[in-house]
Amino acid sequence: MYTTLISTEQLKALHASGAPLMVFDCSFDLMNPPAGEEAYREGHIAGAVYASLDDALSDKGVFDADGTHHPHADAASGGRHPLPSREKFAMWLSSVGFANDMQAVVYDRNNSTYCGRLWWMLKWCGHDAVAVLDGGWKAWQESGGDVSSGEETSRFQSNFELNAPLRKLVSADEVMRNIGEPGQTLVDARAGARFRGEVEPLDPVAGHIPGALNRPGAENIGPDGHFKSAQQLRAEFDKVLAGRDAATVVHHCGSGVSAVPNIIAMELAGFPPTALFAGSWSEWVSDRSRPVATGESGN
């Protein structure tokens, strides 16, 4: 069972073994949402299912005439990409034929930014056998792995059953109650300029949650497109945390997606599983009474 990363050669061996397996392509582009599925149709790992951030991995909710988004009442978080309820997500998994005895492998074309969301959601639904393909689509192509185009259609309905969550979800109210408390260490995965409040291309308010530390998610990936070594990740997170208890970490970003590579990286580095504030900055600033800080980490 693979629970964090899987290499291209390990995935090929898994394919060859005939073990129960489903591969998910989570490629996406925030600025051009249809582009991910278009890229999938042009070429993907043979047999892979497409999992759209907007459709499969978020609660679509409803939109006002002015474009304001309102998640369904049973959504598990707020923000620009609200988590669907565990029950709705289980229904989607069943609709594509994913079953509890399967190993899941997730990948994208975006340095694991989007496939990490599906990795986390499966853990949240109690399914531990899910791994990120290290190096993603580029590594698979370079390894000479089998590819297909178009849409994969030969699937049957399954009955995926929820189990106790294996990862912790934190609400905006919980974050608010614990600001400044030693039992909460906020780690923001957005790029430095957005964290400091110098620019904000997506949300109506710039800045960060007071007291948060900044660790851009992109820093987990090396120049070769693979996750950095466990030793390097450990040293880098030790520096970010500066003596704070890793067990108190709550990760977030703009909408709860790009924070997950930080969660994965910490686990690769040997830290225990950490929590996710899935609504993240976009949910935080939806209530203008919540405090906002600018400048460097910890302010």
Q: What is the pLDDT along the chain (299 residues), one digit of tens a residue?
A: 999 999 999 999 999 999 999 999 999 999 999 999 999 999 999 999 999 999 999 997 776 666 666 778 889 999 999 999 999 999 999 999 999 999 999 999 999 999 999 999 999 999 999 999 999 999 999 999 999 999 887 678 999 999 999 999 999 999 999 999 999 999 999 999 999 999 999 999 999 999 999 999 999 999 999 999 999 999 999 999 999 999 999 999 999 999 999 999 999 999 999 999 999 999 999 999 999 999 998 77
Q: Where are the alpha helices (DSSP H) in the chain?
A: 8-17, 34-42, 86-95, 115-124, 136-142, 172-177, 192-196, 230-241, 260-268, 280-284
- Please check whether residue 167 lies inside any domain of the structure: no
Catalytic residues: 253
pLDDT number for residue 63: 67
Question: Which segments of the chain are extended strands (E)?
Answer: 5-6, 21-25, 44-45, 49-50, 62-63, 69-70, 103-107, 130-133, 147-148, 185-188, 213-214, 249-252, 275-276
Based on the domain organization, do 176 and 228 belong to the same domain?
Answer: yes
Other C-beta atoms lying within 10 Å of the C-beta of residue 161: 13
User: Which of 75, 90, 170 has the alpha carbon at shortest distance from 122?
Assistant: 90
Based on the domain organization, do 143 and 231 belong to the same domain?
Answer: no
How far apart CA 134 and CA 119 sit, in angstroms, is 13
Based on the domain organization, do 184 and 125 belong to the same domain?
Answer: no
Q: Where are the alpha helices (DSSP H) in 49-160?
A: 86-95, 115-124, 136-142
pLDDT number for residue 295: 95
C-beta of residue 179 within 8 angstroms of C-beta of residue 210: yes
- Please check whether residue 296 lies inside any domain of the structure: no
- Please check whether residue 291 lies inside any domain of the structure: no
Per the structure, the complete domain to which residue 90 belongs is given by: 5-148
pLDDT number for residue 270: 98
Based on the domain organization, do 114 and 13 belong to the same domain?
Answer: yes
DSSP character for 18?
A: T
CATH label of the domain that carries residue 212: 3.40.250.10
Other C-beta atoms lying within 10 Å of the C-beta of residue 100: 16
pLDDT number for residue 153: 75
- Please check whether residue 153 lies inside any domain of the structure: no
pLDDT number for residue 144: 97
Based on the domain organization, do 120 and 80 belong to the same domain?
Answer: yes
- Please check whether residue 156 lies inside any domain of the structure: no
Q: Where are the alpha helices (DSSP H) in 112-271?
A: 115-124, 136-142, 172-177, 192-196, 230-241, 260-268
Other C-beta atoms lying within 10 Å of the C-beta of residue 60: 15
Based on the domain organization, do 79 and 123 belong to the same domain?
Answer: yes
Based on the domain organization, do 216 and 277 belong to the same domain?
Answer: yes
pLDDT number for residue 68: 65
Based on the domain organization, do 134 and 179 belong to the same domain?
Answer: no
Based on the domain organization, do 141 and 229 belong to the same domain?
Answer: no
How far apart CA 102 and CA 53 sit, in angstroms, is 21
Based on the domain organization, do 142 and 206 belong to the same domain?
Answer: no
Based on the domain organization, do 138 and 189 belong to the same domain?
Answer: no
- Please check whether residue 161 lies inside any domain of the structure: no
Based on the domain organization, do 178 and 273 belong to the same domain?
Answer: yes
